[in-house]
Structure 1
Amino acid sequence: MSKRKYIQVSPLAGLTDQAAIPSSKPETQRAILAATLARGRSIIRNDLRCVETTAMKNACRAVGAKVTEADRYLIVDGVGREFSLGQRMIDAIGSGLVFRVFTALTCFSPTPAVITGDAILRGRVMAPLFEALSKLGANIECIAENGKAPIVNWGGGFEGGRCDLPGNVSSQFITAIMFAAPLAKRPTEIHIHGEILSISYIRQTAEAMRHAGIEVDISDDFATITVHPGEYQPFEYQVYGDYTSSSYLVGAAALFKGTTTFSNVSSVSLQGERAIVDVIRTLGLKIDFDDQKHLMTVVNEKSYFEGDFEFDASDYPNIVPTLAAIGSFVKGRFRVVGGSITRLHKSPRIKAMVEELTKLGVDIKPIFRDGVYDGFEIHGNGEGYAGGQVLSSWGDHRIFMSLFIASLRCRNPNHLDGYSDVNCSFPDFFEQFSRLGVQFREVNVLKVDASQEEPAEA
């Protein structure tokens, strides 16, 4: 018999007060990268500080950048092309973006570099990036399993030219080569084949690079991206709210009648996950923005939703787990497709949500396309579920946060593991939900056997 720590999430009657949306993780990471590659001082205001942005800052420091945290802004003294990889190792922790971008950037390191990450990252797909970089002339060697982290990049740079990448595995492969390509001697053409998913992240990469003075040409269908040689220039940048993180707060507001206000948000955003606003409006909620005060107000006049809804999440995959949580309380049919890329994230996210919500009694069935999880169909109810279950986060912060909001409408407390992982992207998750009146506490769970767990006081 052993004990494990869980968060016990109590049922909630309604939300109170207001909450703040954390700043955008992808915008913060891309701004830090562009500032590192510029020679001189850049200022990044309203940055997000979490595990994955810390991993990015530490990786940039490893190549010689000076990154200083001030009150609500970062000062980045970049290195331009002159990498100084003193320790010769970069640990991406669990950040796929950090690993992939620095795999590409260290092609231009004057000394060999080892790029590694945690156990989950070492299991993620990397081979298409390695193959594309090798075609450009990079010299990359896998240390353990072929096609996976960790790697040694022996340096030597690449000249530019053409490479090919799949569009349905990870947009981070594309982002990685885009950021490194200006350091090459001639233009780099990235040809993307097949279905192209997560286009919004490619847009965000291009925007960050252009903000730093780099010329990027993208075809209308995003199948060809040409990055020209150039010098990154110092800049000032303002980061706004993260719409993926907002989806948990907005998702909670969708489950209860009332009016809730969220701060640190802009109505104008390149983030694909801004689609959470469109989803909630489609369900029948009212959302208003005040861009002068950076506020978003959600008005929910419904006790529950009813209807037949379908959403294509191919350009906003990070909120697929959130949509599963919201859809559980829609009376009728709630269908989400286009989420195949999530099988390659920190966990197989559709499978995880299907299995965990099924424990709660949700009528949810997976949708497959070409033999892989692509989405789900839910026939939910507006009354909620019994709850009283022990739920797994599958080692994934987004699964935890989605199950957390689903637990708010259960009649009995659920117990969720993996709660410390919110630090990956939403470090004040519990503080913001406390402001909304949500009650939760840490407890120990006595694990008797594989099929029985009993909560106990922490």
Structure 2
Amino acid sequence: MNIKLLKSQIKTVSSITITGSKSESNRLLLLQALYPEIKIENLSNSDDSVVMSKALSSNSNAVIDIHHAGTAMRFLTAFFATQEGKEVTLTGSQRMKERPIQILVEALNQLGANISYLENSGCPPLLIKGKALTQNKISLKANVSSQYISALLLIAPKLEQGLELTLNGEITSIPYINMTLNLLNQIGVETSFKNNVITVNPLKSVSGDKTIVVESDWSSASYFYSIVALSPIGTQVELSSYKQDSLQGDSVLAELYQAFGVKTVFKGLSIVLEKTSQHQPDIAFNLVKSPDIAQTIAVTALGLGVKCDLEGLHTLKIKETDRLVALKNEIEKLGGDIEVTNETLHLKPFDGNFKLATIQTYNDHRMAMAFAPLALKTELKIEDAMVVSKSYPTFWDDLKSIGFQINQ
């Protein structure tokens, strides 16, 4: 479905409830499959979490299609590798079949797994024959996707000797690794993370009542940070439910968006975003710890006419699409001047003279949501708009509720 966003102005004060973090939900769903005693509240309603939940309850010898869900592909590869006597074929969309998974497969096979490629070497689909993994030491390059690392850490407590994982070099996305370790700690697993070595001790079973409430998704909050940044001074949007000591790397939004004139106030389990001042003329961030908010930040900068330099973006090349190329294509359609490399983005100041454009979404939920706030500056169309259901199914309804004018 394509939609047209008319030039809009949002209410001065509004509020939105956002469902649980996809990142936390998918980790907890895997842990719950390993330890059924765990109970989860405020689970994400995203397509990715629905796919993850369905796959974890599948029967033996199943063909499991996770579509575009990259997190599910990585986590399920590790999970099914440990399921003795179970054989599954794990596949996905055409794009998923192009996304690399060799680093994780090789690591699991070194631990004793039996995983093979059914089509192209290094990519899904995978044939996974579950068995007991007998080894407990592995090394990885530290700059790989944190999802590979988290996949290994999540199954680690079920390995007979636990896991000792050595990361060689500078680590990418430390907050996501810390999120995984924190959730393991919450269910009673002992872990340590010192000098690039992560140790996870084995845990036979979870004791006592283990109900974990998932914090709302900070990545989803990013679009409202952008909306407030593009609105007049005095505009407020309240979002729930969020914690000041969040496990999510994208909670850095509260700090970064000060440069765009947006103040974050924590109020109970909510955050209030308020446009309190003008933006800075130049923005420069290293997003190596939170690459998923790069698209939102780049589009905010475009909407405000701000010079923007982002680095630490090398993982964006292997997402649902090559996000750096996609951003360049769509920003140039609108009249912006942007350069990208394999790990950086450089946006020149923009005069605000937008060209009418239809934004292509490339099967990527974040492309649709990152560009939507520009409707506060110009009319635009979004192609395949329901791609947002991957992480935020009610996104368009929530935008309408705060004043956006949207036509199908």
Q: CA RMSD in A?
A: 1.8
Q: Could you list the per-position Cα deviations for residues 274-332 of structure 1 after superposition, in whole angstroms to 9, with x for gaps in the alignment? A: 111111113332221102xx222222144x52422211100001101001111113445
Contact 2:52/2:66 (CA < 8 Å) preserved in 1?
Answer: yes
Instruction: Tell me how far apart the structure 2 counterparts of residues 123 and 15 of structure 1 sit (CA, whole Å).
Output: 43
Q: Which has the higher strand share?
A: 1
The number of aligned residues is 402
> Which amino acid letter does the alignment assign opposite residue 440 of structure 1?
I
Contact 1:21/1:265 (CA < 8 Å) preserved in 2?
Answer: no
Match of 1:76 in 2: none
Equivalent residue for 1:316, pick from 275, 287, 290: 290
The answer to whether structure 1 residue 252 and structure 2 residue 227 are counterparts is: yes
The answer to whether structure 1 residue 38 and structure 2 residue 38 are counterparts is: no
The answer to whether structure 1 residue 168 and structure 2 residue 168 are counterparts is: no
Match of 1:402 in 2: 370
TM-score by length of 1: 0.83
1:13 Cα offset (Å):
3.1
Q: Which has the higher helix share?
A: 2
Instruction: Tell me how far apart the structure 2 counterparts of residues 261 and 180 of structure 1 sit (CA, whole Å).
Output: 37
Contact 1:19/1:433 (CA < 8 Å) preserved in 2?
Answer: no
> Which amino acid letter does the alignment assign opposite residue 169 of structure 1?
V
Instruction: Tell me how far apart the structure 1 counterparts of residues 148 and 174 of structure 2 sit (CA, whole Å).
Output: 12
Instruction: Tell me how far apart the structure 2 counterparts of residues 153 and 104 of structure 1 sit (CA, whole Å).
Output: 9
Instruction: Tell me how far apart the structure 2 counterparts of residues 145 and 245 of structure 1 sit (CA, whole Å).
Output: 34
Instruction: Tell me how far apart the structure 2 counterparts of residues 407 and 106 of structure 1 sit (CA, whole Å).
Output: 44
Contact 2:263/2:274 (CA < 8 Å) preserved in 1?
Answer: yes
Match of 1:391 in 2: 359
Equivalent residue for 2:239, pick from 262, 265, 268: 262
Deviates more, 1:194-203 or 1:91-100: 91-100
Instruction: Tell me how far apart the structure 1 counterparts of residues 86 and 273 of structure 2 sit (CA, whole Å).
Output: 52
In the superposition, relative to structure 1, how do residues 158 and 246 fare at CA in structure 2: closer, same or farther (>3 Å)? same
> Which amino acid letter does the alignment assign opposite residue 202 of structure 2?
P
1:435 Cα offset (Å):
1.2
| Structure 1 unaligned residues grouped into runs of 5+ | 63-84, 443-458
In the superposition, relative to structure 1, how do residues 118 and 217 fare at CA in structure 2: closer, same or farther (>3 Å)? same
1:350 Cα offset (Å):
1.6
1:232 Cα offset (Å):
4.0
Instruction: Tell me how far apart the structure 2 counterparts of residues 14 and 58 of structure 1 sit (CA, whole Å).
Output: 37
Corresponding residue SS for 1:12: coil
1:14 Cα offset (Å):
3.8
Equivalent residue for 1:197, pick from 163, 167, 172: 172
Instruction: Tell me how far apart the structure 1 counterparts of residues 192 and 246 of structure 2 sit (CA, whole Å).
Output: 20
Identity %, equivalent residues: 25
Instruction: Tell me how far apart the structure 1 counterparts of residues 219 and 257 of structure 2 sit (CA, whole Å).
Output: 14
The answer to whether structure 1 residue 299 and structure 2 residue 274 are counterparts is: yes
Contact 2:110/2:135 (CA < 8 Å) preserved in 1?
Answer: no
Deviates more, 1:190-199 or 1:333-342: 190-199
1:43 Cα offset (Å):
2.1
Instruction: Tell me how far apart the structure 1 counterparts of residues 112 and 191 of structure 2 sit (CA, whole Å).
Output: 21
Contact 1:254/1:326 (CA < 8 Å) preserved in 2?
Answer: yes
TM-score by length of 2: 0.93
The answer to whether structure 1 residue 437 and structure 2 residue 403 are counterparts is: yes
1:246 Cα offset (Å):
0.3
Corresponding residue SS for 2:310: strand
In the superposition, relative to structure 1, how do residues 385 and 87 fare at CA in structure 2: closer, same or farther (>3 Å)? farther
> Which amino acid letter does the alignment assign opposite residue 146 of structure 2?
S
Q: Name segments (4+ residues, structure 1) moved above 6 Å.
A: none
The answer to whether structure 1 residue 380 and structure 2 residue 349 are counterparts is: yes
> Which amino acid letter does the alignment assign opposite residue 153 of structure 1?
I
Corresponding residue SS for 1:386: coil
TM alignment of 1:283-298, pairs within 5 A = 283-291=260-268, 294-298=269-273
